Structure 1
């Protein structure tokens, strides 16, 4: 189909479509674009070709389908060519060390796209340049890729997954040689290299090249064995586990987690959890849930609760589809189920890992080298524990890419990296994986629960005891959905210029603003020079407001979803047990934020679905 046939009235769009028709060799996506052209479907063509996916620190995440705005065979090849070119410049020994590639179970029959095929194409591109590739032959949890990078001393890792996104999405997540997700400037460097390598290399489409090459290796068996050996080091009460009578239910939410959680329970000598049969096997259609995201709470856990009631289980463990995150629920005396927030489980796991470490290291001097991390939008309960117990707590920017890289720096300095978490149910309990890991977190949570039962207490009661000792930390987080970047930009710019240029809000209803930190522009009113100490990024929106009552609220955009998220927390001093009053005050603060900070854009935003 020549250029004369493609005439949309938009020269740039015509050029993008013509290039696609010349380069794409996937019959389904090629036919889909040809049909759009034949039908004169300008709106569809604009959606598919109007803007190329942007490669950032989260890699890529988008819907599967035809065109440069979607995940498909051609964009995977182009992305991997750019990544490979960037690695060639960065590592003289790339052809000796190689890369690892993993994938989840996502598939999109309409476009012929699936995670395994994308992973195979990525391997083909690398091997075509003489780069050794460790390609998992079967689905794995995301944490296995950063684990393999570190364990095998590789140059990089690729995980093909969209994690908890809707079923039509897929993603391309990248790890650097340190075993952590990439951070600037690598994202910009890779993005530039992609744009310079859009023409498929001679052998990039030749899957047989990869599958028959001596450069292709399968790390599956070795990494499974070594991973479980590594996480076993964080099993502190094996004898107790063997005799534990606590019953657990586990759901993988149609993802990859079932086999691996069963195995990690075995590695900890725990009785295997009851599996939610309807959700235990991978299914890219996610037929039993509206959103395959256990962070959404009870709606995703309905089948888990039913199975728990049937089997007499008291705790539910839920992984997201790529098993890097973990949700936990506990049955209460009232018969109701409590789904712990990410911040609450972070408090429990942080307390537990410190307690277990302290048992093995009773000497006070060792505390000076112990660290815990949390993202800036997560609860500061770890900071409160650290202040009282004497270890170090650090705050990082949002996302495990920042915590993973900081953890690696600390480990290289000989420090003990005990725990890191983010409020979005992500936990790093074992430094062998410099990313969130829902598999190891599931076993460690189960061991914690089993221990508490021997002490005559529950997760809920222990959480309350932690708050009693270190101060209640009450949080309330939610989001608005917005697909219009102009509206998002307008909202944040209005907050930066509330009264006039560079005048952030001084109050929010009855709540006085005492400090503002803007990590988009680098402004921080609490610093002597008004400059933020944490890294800043113009590519994302993030403003934190501190209020005179001790409340903190952060508003930010998501890097992987069309959301404006807000995070709020109110902290009380130890001994203040008036939780009802604290919750009421936080509710009032959140209501004020929504009323004052989100107007007048609110009517253009879609609230979080119930």
Structure 2
């Protein structure tokens, strides 16, 4: 059995070497084969990356299990063929491709290189490509899909993952991330198109091609023009005495957040100098993820203390997430959880909408969304204020697609969020958007300051009015499948066979939904019902 496995690995590696024209990755594979390094061969060729609703995400390096030039070519060829089968006017409308600043010297892989190879695959088949000429925030790609009426979008990014990772995120023609059955259809199409097309490696093909367009300037102008429509308190913004610190955590968000502040009439936020420029090494942080909280914000705290700033805004490296911290009277910093910031933004956006729409009947057409693992505060606000709240499965792919359905039905979707610091504050982007969220959070804080209120005080006021919604989200890492199985078996049989815990500390557990087993004790038959888009 082991011998057959090793033979299969060598065969896969040999096939790889006939196709791979990247000298660094091919040399690494040749070395593995010559040294008969079975462990490395298994790591690189044991299993192909799975293409799912989040596209691809893996470490950069050689082999079918990692992100590299060849797997990008294969993935794009499969995606191109799938689009040809499912969207008839692909060659008239085209696709958009964006990328972040990630790079991996060992394998010569980079987001820009991957994006250019993806563009080459489409252009070789006569498909127009809108390829951003420079790094861009992830939200600009789904914005471009809708704004330019394109067939699809690709963003090459690993978001807040460790520096060795990269990813390939796919949007459908509706501007939302793909959902089933597109994921399985694309995965099958990739398997059917593994051999590189004749011009796959010739990325000079796109230079000077009439099919290649650069949307950078126009999308920047139009995005911020559309964003201005969500500014409700320009006079306050111009006169606010609040100071803001912003960090892009070595990612792509600095320039865009500065532009967003300008669009809203703010003075620019103070940028953390050590983190404002893109750097794929992320030298000042252990993990480039502002969801980690105070550990990622140390330099922000220091700058805010020096400059007397009250609010810190932090984007992840591809600028689709936002974290916010506020200096308290004690001098300590409160880093808001994703659920807490979702509560504040939901309240603020509805408050602004209500000011603009005094007709009481208008609220019946308004919707807000949240994922099933997020706080239910929006449901409480909706019940009190009269608008609609819907819960979706986990991930913005579900909220984005559901939002598009509602918009197409003539509904007004004001806001959507997930507890992992992701916020959709403007429906012209059907995904989480840390750029718009940053400036809208700044406007909210500035408005509250005119009422002598802090964000923390307003959060307590929301809880007092609509009910306290408290959460404590965290995680730990476990790679042992037996341990994982035992943990969940213990939970599912905590108070006897097939009996979940009745208490959480001293508090009674009123509801358990376990979608893995299909259990939901809030349903008459204890069977979980399908959420939207399930």
Contact 2:236-2:447 at 8 Å conserved across structures: yes
Aligned mates of 1:96, 1:139 — CA distance in 2: 26
Q: 1:106 aligns with which of 86, 89, 102?
A: 102
In 1: Cα distance, 2:235 partner to 2:361 partner = 29
1:505 paired to 2:504: no
Q: Does 1:531 align with 2:522?
A: no
Please report how far the alpha carbon of residue 534 of structure 1 lies from its aligned counterpart in structure 2 after TM superposition: 2.7
Spell out the pairing of 1:260-299 with structure 2 (5 A cutoff): 260-299=256-295
For the Cα contact (< 8 Å) 2:97–2:153, is it kept in 1? yes
Matched residues, number: 531
Partner of 2:386: 390
How far off is 1:204 after superposition?
Answer: 1.1
Question: What are the within-5 Å matches in structure 2 for residues 191-340 of structure 1?
Answer: 191-340=187-336
Contact 1:397/1:534 (<8 A) preserved:
no
1:166 correspondence with 2:167 = no
Within 5 Å, which residues of 2 pair with 1:589-608? Answer: none
State the partner residue of 2:17: 21
Question: Does the Cα contact within 8 Å between 1:126 and 1:133 map onto a contact in 2?
Answer: yes
RMSD: 1.8
Structure with more relative contact order (C-alpha pairs < 8 Å, separation 6 or more):
2
CA offset digits 1:242-288 (Å, max 9, x no partner): 11121100000000000000000000000100000000000000000
1:339 & 1:169 partners in 2: Cα distance? Answer: 27
Equivalent-residue separation in structure 2 for 1:359 and 1:368 (angstroms):
15
Cα drift, residue 128 of structure 1: 1.0
Distance in 2 separating the partners of 1:92 and 1:485:
44
SS in structure 2 of the partner of residue 137 of structure 1: coil
Q: Is the 8 A contact 1:519 1:536 kept in 2?
A: no
**How far apart, in 2, do the equivalents of 1:290 and 1:492 lie?**
30
1:401 paired with 2:397, answer yes
TM-score normalised over the length of structure 1: 0.84
Residues 442-464 of structure 1: CA distance to partner in whole angstroms, max 9, x if unpaired? Answer: 11011111111111111111111
| 2:349 matches 1:376 | no
Q: Tell me the CA shift for residue 529 of structure 1.
A: 4.0
Q: Which moved more, 1:10-19 or 1:59-68?
A: 10-19
Matching of residues 551-590 of structure 1 within 5 Å: none
CA gap of 1:307–1:331, structure 2 versus 1, over 3 A, is: same
Q: Specify the SS of the correspondent of 2:462.
A: helix
Q: Deviations over 1:415-435 (max 9, x none)?
A: 110000111110000000000
Q: Is the 8 A contact 1:380 1:473 kept in 2?
A: yes
Mark the CA change 1:270 to 1:201 in structure 2 (over 3 Å): closer, same or farther: same
Q: Deviations over 1:157-193 (max 9, x none)?
A: 0000000000000000000000000111111111111
Q: 1:195 to 1:302 in 2, by over 3 A?
A: same
- Give SS of 1:475's match: coil
Aligned match of 1:603: none
TM-score computed with the length of structure 2 as normaliser: 0.96
Q: 1 CA distance for matches of 2:293 and 2:254? A: 19
C-alpha distance in 2, partners of 1:200/1:494? Answer: 48
How far residue 490 of structure 1 moved from its aligned partner, in angstroms, is 5.0
CA gap of 1:180–1:23, structure 2 versus 1, over 3 A, is same
Q: Distance in 2 between matches of 1:489 and 1:131?
A: 47
Counterpart of 1:135?
131
Q: What is the alpha-carbon distance in structure 2 between the residues aligned to residue 152 and residue 168 of structure 1?
A: 33
Deviation at 1:211, TM superposition (A): 2.3
List gaps (5 residues or longer) in structure 1.
Answer: 1-6, 539-610
What SS class does the counterpart of residue 532 from structure 1 fall into? coil
1: CA distance, partners of 2:207 / 2:360: 54
Contact 1:428–1:436, Cα closer than 8 Å, also in 2? yes
Is the Cα–Cα contact under 8 Å of residues 521 and 536 in structure 1 kept in the other structure? Answer: no
Q: Give 1:498 shift.
A: 6.2
Q: Secondary structure at the match of 2:410?
A: coil
Q: Quick one: distance in 1 between partners of 2:531 and 2:351?
A: 32
Cα distance change, pair 375–482 in 1 and its aligned pair in 2 (3 A): same
Q: CA deviation at 1:484?
A: 3.8
Is 1:517 equivalent to 2:513 in the alignment? Answer: yes
The CA deviation string for residues 489-522 of structure 1, in whole angstroms up to 9 with x for no partner, is: 4544564566888x24254576665543222343
How much has 1:323 moved relative to structure 2? 0.3
Aligned to 2:339: 343
Quote how far apart the aligned CAs of 1:342 are. 0.6
Specify which of 38, 43, 64 is matched with residue 42 of structure 1: 38
Query: CA separation in 1, counterparts of 2:387 and 2:485?
Result: 40
Higher strand share: 1
2:141 is matched with: 145
**CA 1:219/1:25 → structure 2, altered by over 3 Å: closer, same or farther?**
same
CA contact (8 A) 1:506 1:514 kept: no
Contact 2:342/2:417 (CA < 8 Å) preserved in 1? yes
